Amino acid sequence: MARQRRPGVNERMKVTVIGTGHVGLVTCVTMSMLGHDVVGTDMDQEKVALLRRGIPPFFEEGLEQALRAELTSGRLAFSGEPADALRDAEVVFICVGTPARSDGEANLIAMEGAARDVAHHGRDGVVVVEKSTVPAGTSERVRLTLTRESRGLRFDVASNPEFLREGTALADSLRPDRIVLGVQSDWARDVLRRLYAPLTDQGHELLETDIATAELAKHAANAFLAMKISFSNGLARICERAGADVVAVADVMGSDPRIGRAFLNAGLGYGGYCFPKDVAALDRLASRLGYDFRLLREVSRMNDEAVEAAAAKVHEAVWNIEGKRIALLGLAFKAGTDDVRFSPALQLAERLVSAGADLHGYDPRAADTAREELPDLNVSDTAYAAAAGAHCVVIATEWPEFRDLDLARLREVMAYPVIVDARNVLDREAVARAGFAYYPTGRTAILTTDVTAGPVSVEAVAVASGAA
Ligand code: UDX
């Protein structure tokens, strides 16, 4: 196998992406935008059919437009046939799901399937790159599978963890903070450097490590960010009792460059497909390697506690939850996405419904995905419709549009003027002026004796519901 560097900096390479979920599809589009020839493949034929028509199966800002442009450019295609998709690939990205098993360990069955596909259909000299978040040591398993399943295929394995965030995924991939390459041969290093040349030429940093380090670094980064969030949620509990303000505490802490302000927002805790799974997976990996990383279990426990604390606040705000109408604003696990996987907002919804609440949710993007997850959930078309006749509004996701709620209108349609702000999105003074009892997170509550919002008539409720 020739292992020399080929001439030309930004050359066009042949890339195949296995798995077209969030990471996989964004990788397809990004690689195509960087000028490579890309084939995305997925075992879900319906998804492949949608993608061929330029329809992403989930919402991600700017993705649909970019997908269509790349399909039209002729650089990007999708195939449901692994043999088809893998035949010419110089680089294969494995972007399949690695969900947590019930014991927290990552389920790597799809990784093995992808490695097998490459072994059967890949071309000689292919570089196989793990992009899915996997426990350190997985590359060795991939390597073994490729060796066992292929007949003399020459290949190399590398790790290139993805740090994209849902909601800003495309921008994160096109303007990465860092590109991490875990490699163990000059061949893989050379191929991947050439692949990323369009980004490194623009000055984006490339960090090269060994494979186990790259695998571990991804878990470590996510677990550390999760720890920052849980730390702030712990502080929030203390601030509420001490009369301090957790947002101001985070500002002070965050102004120290050694700490940084990002991911210090107390609230309902973290959710989504990455943080909960990655914290558990790192804990499992540690214990498999003989180290008890107790801190990680505490991070996760404190995250569950954040939902409990919000439920307790609703209880404090309305007295008995049973029979109360509660509006839950925000269902997605964070703003900017329709993803409700491991959403703390839905965990709170379940908690309130099981306490007997008449719950009405609203989300600017995640109504359909939330209904799929919790079929019995009432979902309204506007925040005001959800709030009509409500005894309490709970803000559960940090959508920017909730900052701009018309508080006078909200108060008019609600039965009680009570807001639990589990994400600290509202302006305290404005809420106070509008006459609400206000329960933020980690900040002093504003209690008002005027609990008779008015006038709440059948007409007001009907008007609000019709305002959809
Ligand atoms: C995360 C990582 O940020 C990304 O690098 C990795 O590739 C995938 O996992 P994502 O899951 O899209 O990305 O969400 P992120 O923006 O990190 O937020 C995770 C959760 O933490 C959300 O539920 C969010 O609401 C919550 N969060 C975030 C807080 O509660 N407080 C904060 O200060 C920040």
Judged on CB neighbours under 10 Å (0-12, 13-18, 19+), 446 is middle
b/e code 212-247 from CB counts within 10 Å (16+ = b): bebbbbbbebbbebbbbbbbbbbbbbebbeeebbbb
pTM above 0.75, yes or no: yes
**Spacing, Cα 91 to ligand 1 middle (Å):** 29
Report pLDDT digits (tens) over 95-111.
999 988 888 888 999 99
Which residue from 130, 270, 307, 346 has its CB within 8 A of the most atoms of ligand 1, so it is best to mutate?
270
8 A C-beta contact, residue 268 and residue 306:
yes
Active-site residue, from 28, 239, 274, 392 = 274
Residues 6+ positions from 24 with CB-CB distance below 8 Å = 17, 18, 40, 42, 93, 95, 96, 131
How much is the CA Rg of the chain, to the nearest whole Å? 25
Domain boundaries, the chain: 14-209, 211-468
Which ligand 1 atom is nearest residue 23's CA? Answer: 7
Report pLDDT digits (tens) over 410-462.
999 999 999 999 999 999 999 999 999 999 999 999 987 544 444 443 333 33
User: According to the model, what pLDDT value does residue 133 have?
Assistant: 87
CATH architecture, range 211-468: 3-Layer(aba) Sandwich (3.40)
Q: How far is the C-alpha of 81 from the C-alpha of 326, rounded, in Å?
A: 48
* Tokens describing residue 5: 């560097």
274 in active site: yes
Report pLDDT digits (tens) over 17-30.
999 999 999 999 99
User: According to the model, what pLDDT value does residue 170 have?
Assistant: 96
Distances (CA, A) of 127 to 26, 33, 158, 390: 20, 20, 7, 57
8 A C-beta contact, residue 433 and residue 423:
no
* Phi, psi at 358, each rounded to 5°: -95, 95
* Tokens describing residue 212: 């186990």
**Spacing, Cα 177 to ligand 1 middle (Å):** 16
Q: Which of 6-10, 31-35, 263-267, 457-461 is least confident? A: 457-461
User: According to the model, what pLDDT value does residue 250 have?
Assistant: 98
8 A C-beta contact, residue 99 and residue 136:
no
Q: How far is the C-alpha of 374 from the C-alpha of 350, rounded, in Å?
A: 9
User: What type of residue is 141?
Assistant: R
Distances (CA, A) of 67 to 55, 79, 262, 374, 430: 8, 15, 30, 30, 41
Determine the topology of domain 14-209 in CATH: Rossmann fold (3.40.50)
DSSP string, 210-270: -HHHHHHHHHHHHHHHHHHHHHHHHHHHHHHHHT--HHHHHHHHHTSTTT-STT---SS--
User: What size, in residues, is the chain?
Assistant: 468
- pLDDT bracket for residue 80 (50, 70, 90): very high
Report pLDDT digits (tens) over 161-171.
999 999 999 99
Where does 14-108 have alpha helices with state H? 22-33, 45-52, 63-73, 82-86
- Say yes or no to pLDDT of 378 above 80: yes
Say if residue 455 is preceded by a cis peptide, omega within 30 of 0.
Answer: yes
Report pLDDT digits (tens) over 267-320.
999 999 999 999 999 999 999 999 999 999 999 999 999 999 999 999 999 999
Task: Kindly state the average pLDDT of the residues 144-156.
Answer: 94
Distances (CA, A) of 336 to 1, 223, 273, 398: 46, 22, 15, 9
For residue 146, what is the DSSP state? H
8 A C-beta contact, residue 293 and residue 286:
yes
Using CA positions, which residue lies closest to atom 2 of ligand 1? Answer: 165
CA dihedral 385, 389, 391, 394 (to 10 degrees): 0
Which residue from 133, 225, 339, 398 has its CB within 8 A of the most atoms of ligand 1, so it is best to mutate?
225
- Domain 14-209 and domain 211-468, same fold? Reply is yes
b/e code 60-87 from CB counts within 10 Å (16+ = b): beebeebbbebbeeebbbbbbebeebbe
Residues 6+ positions from 33 with CB-CB distance below 8 Å = 66, 70, 174
- pLDDT bracket for residue 41 (50, 70, 90): very high
Share of the chain above pLDDT 70, in %: 94
Which residue from 160, 334, 365, 421 has its CB within 8 A of the most atoms of ligand 1, so it is best to mutate?
334
**Spacing, Cα 331 to ligand 1 middle (Å):** 15
**Spacing, Cα 270 to ligand 1 middle (Å):** 6
